[in-house]
Amino acid sequence: MIEHTSIRESSPTIDYGMVDHPGPVSWSDAARRDMAAIFARYPDKRSATLPILWLAVREFGWISPQVEKIAAEILGRPLNEIHIVVTFYTMYPRRPMGQHHIQICRNVSCWLAGAADLSRYLQQRLGIGPGETTADGKFSFSEVECLCYCECAPAMRLDNRYVGNLTKTSIDQLIGEK
């Protein structure tokens, strides 16, 4: 059965805001070494923006305004350019995240294949809404735009694993494994 719930009606906003780090942030020696290896792969620093932001997520847990600033400095790019990149992609968390991040696609193919119902089910199971983290810090949940897995809609991403043809049963299994 086709759901007629509007995407925006279900989740009025996809911008979950940005959360500051509690204090100053700086790159560790290990991160600086990895950074040098990343820069060596590209003809100019600007091209390394995405992997440097990944490194920042690994280093600091999420991209805060402070992290945007030191990423802009290291990349030699204006702060607003880094902010545009960070806020364009849903893959860069902008707030503290749980141990596992579940993302359900809310774009057309998945929504027509029942993602709205699955999202509601998952929210009930975890007791949280989009943009929230469970009280035990184990799971964070987001509704995101196309995961580029449309051929297997409805799709979700659990950390770095893509899951297609999602059902309530497979959701139960995936959560139970964690």
**Nearer of residues 97 and 150 to ligand FES, judged by Cβ:** 150
Contact partners, residue 50, CB within 8 Å, separation at least 6: 85
Task: For residue 86, give the nearest of 50, 110, 32 by alpha carbon.
Answer: 50
Q: How far is the CB of 126 from ligand FES (least distance, A)?
A: 20
Closest CB to ligand FES among residues 91, 150: 150
For ligand FES, give the closer residue by CB, 75 or 166. 166
Tell me which H or E stretch contains 38: helix 29-40
Nearer to ligand FES, 119 or 140 (CB): 119
Please say whether the beta carbons of 106 and 10 come within 8 A.
yes
C-alpha–C-alpha distance, residues 111 and 122, integer Å: 15
Site string for ligand FES, 79-118 (x = CB under 6 A): --------------------------x-xxxx--------
Residues forming the site for ligand FES (CB under 6 A): 105, 107-110, 146-150, 153, 155
